[in-house]
Structure 1
Amino acid sequence: MPLSEEELRLLEQMERALVAEDPKLASTLRGTRLRQRARRQVVIGAVGFVLGLGALMAGVVLPMVAVGIVGFLLMLGSAYLALSSWRARDAAAAAPSAPEDPGPLRVIRGGKAHRGRAARAPKRGTSHGSMMERFEERWRRRREGGNGF
Structure 2
Amino acid sequence: MLAQLEQALAEEDPKFASSMEGTRRGGPTRLRWIIGVTGVVVGLGLVLVGINTTMWVGAAGFAVMVAAVAFSLTPPRRGKLAVVRDDGTAGPAGSGRRQKSGSGFMDKLDDRWDRRGRDGWS
- TM normalised by structure 2 equals 0.42
* Greater per-residue strand proportion: 2
Which protein is bigger by CA-based radius of gyration? 1
